[in-house]
Structure 1
């Protein structure tokens, strides 16, 4: 598999996140403060 292409979904998600919030850093801190457990499928 082409190594650089494997990161593409994360880059796209980050770009979308950055465009949705005026203060993306604060939005991430607020999500962390909630303390809600995230589920990741691997």
Structure 2
């Protein structure tokens, strides 16, 4: 996983008001498994 992607998922976690580091994995799962998450990822790329 690239550093840019990692920063992107942390940003998503913040935007989803998760914020806490333990929820970064939840954000990654959201990105992987939802269409909305995929759109987010494309926007960040």
Tell whether the structures are fold-level matches, with TM greater than 0.5. Answer: no
- Which structure has the highest helix share of the two? 2
Task: Tell me which structure has the larger Cα radius of gyration.
Answer: 1
Q: Give the structure-1-normalised TM-score.
A: 0.34
- Determine which structure has greater relative contact order: mean sequence separation of CA pairs < 8 Å that are 6+ residues apart, divided by chain length: 2
